[in-house]
Structure formats: structure tokens, C-alpha cells
Amino acid sequence: MTAVATHLPSGRRVRVLGLTGPEVADLVLLPRAAYEALRAGATPTATPRPMPLRAWRRDRGLGVRELAAAAGIDAGYLSQIETGRKPGSVKALRALVRALGVPIEAIEPVAEGAGGG
């Protein structure tokens, strides 16, 4: 089996076994819950199931400071977005989803002031 290494937006490496050639370009990283649902027979959708920003960050194995740096925003601001204390600007949200490698539709909004601790 051939191993292919790819890089996450955070710069971390991921090895994928058994992929060679053009299919590597179509590689999509899924949250473990989505992967398990597909293995159990769920029908795939074009857009990943929306999850809170914090869940995507944790799924990617990133800390607040790591994701904030990758997105070019302040870590405190990211924390406020994740907890609903700030809604997040369009520019910041676009940078965050780009750093996470997910479409904007995959981010579930957190109600302002919801806490989310």
C-alpha cells in the first residue's frame, strides 16, 4: 500500500494510506463523527454537517492560538467568537474556515452570549 502525506492548514502532516494519483486531489478531511456515520451507511451530503467553530477546531487538533495564528486573527477574538460573546466579522470567519479547510456553511452559529464554555 502506498502512503501519501498531505498538510493540514495548520501545517500538521496527515498520512493517508492507499491513495495514489489524481484521487489525492479530491481528498477531504472529515470530522470523526461524520466519518463514522458514513461507515455506518449514512448518505453523504455535499456540505459537511454544521458544527460549532470550536468543534471544528478541536476536530482538527488545533489550539485557540494555533487556529488564530493560521487565520491571522487575535486568539482572544477567536475565543469570543467561539463562545458567542462576539459574532465575528465576515473577514474573520472567512479566514477561519479557510484555515480549517471547511466551507462557511459547515460552521454552526453560536447564539450571541451563549457561553459555550
Report which of residues 12 and 61 the model is more confident about.
61
Range list of H helices, the chain: 32-39, 53-59, 64-71, 75-83, 90-100
Amino acid at 74: D
The confidence score (pLDDT) of residue 76 equals 96
The confidence score (pLDDT) of residue 81 equals 92
Model confidence at 95, in pLDDT bands (50, 70, 90)?
A: very high
Report which of residues 100 and 47 the model is more confident about.
100
Give one DSSP letter per residue of 56-87, joined into a string. HHHHTT--HHHHHHHHTS-HHHHHHHHHTSS-
Asked if 54 and 82 count as a contact pair (C-beta separation under 8 A), the reply is: yes
Q: What is the tens place of the pLDDT at every residue in 50-85?
A: 788 998 999 888 999 999 999 999 999 999 999 989
The confidence score (pLDDT) of residue 102 equals 87
Report which of residues 1 and 115 the model is more confident about.
115
Q: What is the tens place of the pLDDT at every residue in 22-59?
A: 555 555 666 677 777 777 877 666 556 678 899 899 98
**Residue boundaries of the structural domains of the chain:** 31-117
The confidence score (pLDDT) of residue 59 equals 86
> In terms of C-beta distances under 8 Å and separation of at least 24 residues, what long-range contacts does 22-31 make, across chains too?
29/60, 29/101, 31/55, 31/56, 31/59
The dotted CATH code for 31-117 is 1.10.260.40
